[in-house]
Structure 1
Amino acid sequence: MSLFAFKGLIAVIIALVTVITGLASLRFIHRYQHLLSLGDAFADGIFLGAAAFHLFPDAIESFPAGFSTLTSYLLAILLVISGFFLLFVLERTIIHREKERHELTNEHTCKASAWMLIGILSVHAFIAGAALGISDTLRTVSILLIAILAHKGFESFALMMGLHRNLKQDVQVKNILWAFTFVTPLGIILAAFIESFLHTQAADIITGLFSAFAAGSFLYIGTLHGGHNHFHAPRDPTKRYEKIIATLLGIAAMGIVAIWA
């Protein structure tokens, strides 16, 4: 099987995982929340590990040989910061606008919260899919597949929980889930087509640039967006420490994969 066909198969698998876990979440929305939050914290650790141990080093290696080591590192760091800052600004801007709407009815405020959640998760899902789609080695594709699948189920659960709380209409929630299901596969397919039609050197450069940018978005999802809630929301210190340990285990798991891969 060619790498391009493998990416197509991955897109189908991710779509199935997204819709199955999303629909299942509607049934278990009020059960096993602590275990699901621990799993989500573990998935955040996997995202952090994928960014630090795989995406960032791959970005450095993909830059042209004519670049000095310092130039490669500075460019990669700049792109990591850009990816991180993009999601930070997007989320904070939407939150700020939502706070300005507190004078609106509760119904409008709930809808604003729902669309904020959809927007943030969709941007991240597309970036993650594009990072996988533009990757040109089986090793990198496999690493990103692990990271995306590990987080996708919990991401779908978070989306369903937020939409169910704010919209309270199962039909509308399911329609949004179906649309969200195809965001990551769309990113994979578009990026895979771009990568397949580019010359080798150009593909390597774009892969390096996008890998570094995606690393920044992965860091944000694993810290301020996801990890912030994990570490500060629980009132019980024991639960907070459990989530921190789960995140560290996720990071360690990706570190072990980096050593063996």
Structure 2
Amino acid sequence: MAKMARSTRRTSNLICTLLLLSLLLLTCFFQQASGHGGVDHGDGDEEDEDGHHGDAGVGGGLRSRGLIAVKVWCLVILLVFTFLGGVSPYFYRWNEAFLLLGTQFAAGIFLGTALMHYLADVTETFHALTDSPYPFSFMLACAGFLLTMLSDVVIVAVANRQRVNRAAPIQKEAEEEGESTSEGPAVAHAHPMLMTATSSFEDAILLIIALCFHSIFEGIAIGVSATKGEAWRNLWTIGLHKIFAAVAMGIALLRMIPKRPFLLTVLYSLAFAVSSPVGVGIGIAIDATAEGSDWTYAISMGITTGVFVYIAINHLMAKGYRPQQPNYFDKPIFKFLSVLTGISVILQHLHSNRSWVQSTIPKEIIEHLNLPIGRGYNQRATRHIRGKMLFEETIYIS
């Protein structure tokens, strides 16, 4: 029996290692592939030599049909794969070590994307939009962090109040029963309903509400993407987290609902799967209707940065996935290496594709507008600066 247990443990560790290596290779491949459709290599929404957009038309790059079509595809992909991840624990027993380290890997992807991509992008956009030295991007990131934290506080407060309300009559009934017996308070303490009060229908609903609230803000990041490549990259970052979260949610729901009703599992998974596509739709609508799309993008992504940081630190790193059985990989060093790997993937992607640097602004424009020399500007900032220069030239000629 001991040999069989060791053999099973080795097989489980081997499967976990292979799954993690496959996930890492797939991540690197997707990041490289999406980089060629992003800011630097042109995806149909870039500016040509005269400063016009290739297929944007009158409405600008974000309103182009090609870009919106990509965002719709992202919406559908998120919906389908998140739903499949949510219902999969009902049919398949996932390797717990893979879920444990995969969640930490997703945390590294989230944290690296938020700090090295989104925050840098928003900062450069604000530099181009306003001359004020106020750190708008960092202020909005803090606002997003606090907003997400506030939502968690409210949900936890509601959950605790409901648990107290449910436990109070049970406690009172148990005490009344205990008074007529010799055990006294011991009966009330050992009342079986008190042991299961936290695993209820209401707790499952609160879990879904908390996950859906965060997912809506994640989806907005895809909806306000400036290019097709950026939309695909955001899809990969968010989808990676969503799938792991959906699987973990499915496992948690099966623990909360002992009878494991298939219909409830499907309904909960569908509700969670719809949340991010709703955010994508909100982002598309905001960009399609807002007058100052660059301001809308900067504000939305600034808040989303804070949401990503909070989810990465508080939900994925601090809590993460907790195995039901003791696991060899459930150690701080393995979690650290998984987070480090996720951040390294984002760092390597930004370095190789240079998606956060633009050198398309002529030197004379930089000098004319008194812009900092030697700074890279993202696509939105470049577009805004070119538009500002064109406006000044029009006023001068007229």
Structure 1: distance between partners of 2:165 and 2:315: 26
**Alpha-carbon distance, 1:196 to partner:** 2.2
The answer to whether structure 1 residue 39 and structure 2 residue 102 are counterparts is yes
- Give me the CA root mean square deviation: 2.4
SS, match of residue 135 in structure 1: coil
Q: Which has the larger radius of gyration?
A: 2
- Pick the aligned partner of 1:109 from 168, 191, 198: 198
Structure 2: distance between partners of 1:48 and 1:218: 7
Letter in 1 for 2:130: F
**Segment of structure 1 superposing worse, 115-124 or 137-146:** 137-146
Which residue matches 2:319?
A: 229
- Pick the aligned partner of 2:306 from 204, 213, 216: 216
Instruction: Confirm or deny: 8 A CA contact 1:134 1:192 kept in the other structure.
Output: yes
Structure 2: distance between partners of 1:181 and 1:97: 24
- Pick the aligned partner of 1:190 from 257, 272, 282: 282
Structure 1: distance between partners of 2:313 and 2:126: 27
Instruction: Confirm or deny: 8 A CA contact 1:167 1:173 kept in the other structure.
Output: no
Which residue matches 1:59?
A: 122
Which residue matches 2:79?
A: 15
The answer to whether structure 1 residue 81 and structure 2 residue 142 are counterparts is yes
Instruction: Confirm or deny: 8 A CA contact 2:100 2:330 kept in the other structure.
Output: no
The answer to whether structure 1 residue 5 and structure 2 residue 97 are counterparts is no
Letter in 2 for 1:115: I
TM normalised by structure 2 equals 0.59
**Alpha-carbon distance, 1:66 to partner:** 4.9
Structure 2: distance between partners of 1:135 and 1:153: 21
Kindly indicate whether structure 1 or structure 2 has the higher relative contact order, using CA contacts under 8 Å at least 6 residues apart: 1
Which residue matches 1:259?
A: 351
Instruction: Confirm or deny: 8 A CA contact 1:18 1:152 kept in the other structure.
Output: yes
Give runs of aligned pairs for residues 134-149 of structure 1, distance below 5 A. 134-149=224-239
Instruction: Confirm or deny: 8 A CA contact 2:75 2:277 kept in the other structure.
Output: yes
Q: Structure 1 residues 189 and 93 mapped into 2: Cα distance closer, same or farther (>3 Å)?
A: closer
Structure 1: distance between partners of 2:329 and 2:219: 35
Which residue matches 2:209?
A: 119
Aligned length: 256
Unaligned runs of 5+ in 2: 1-64, 168-192, 354-398
SS, match of residue 198 in structure 2: helix
Instruction: Confirm or deny: 8 A CA contact 1:128 1:184 kept in the other structure.
Output: yes
SS, match of residue 166 in structure 2: coil
Instruction: Confirm or deny: 8 A CA contact 1:14 1:149 kept in the other structure.
Output: yes
Instruction: Confirm or deny: 8 A CA contact 2:100 2:322 kept in the other structure.
Output: no
**Segment of structure 1 superposing worse, 79-88 or 158-167:** 158-167
Structure 2: distance between partners of 1:84 and 1:235: 32
Identical aligned residues as a percent: 25
TM normalised by structure 1 equals 0.88
Letter in 2 for 1:190: I
**Alpha-carbon distance, 1:26 to partner:** 2.1
Letter in 2 for 1:52: L
**Segment of structure 1 superposing worse, 15-24 or 161-170:** 161-170
Q: Which has the higher helix share?
A: 1
Unaligned runs of 5+ in 1: none
Give runs of aligned pairs for residues 161-172 of structure 1, distance below 5 A. 161-168=251-258, 169-172=261-264
Structure 2: distance between partners of 1:8 and 1:103: 44
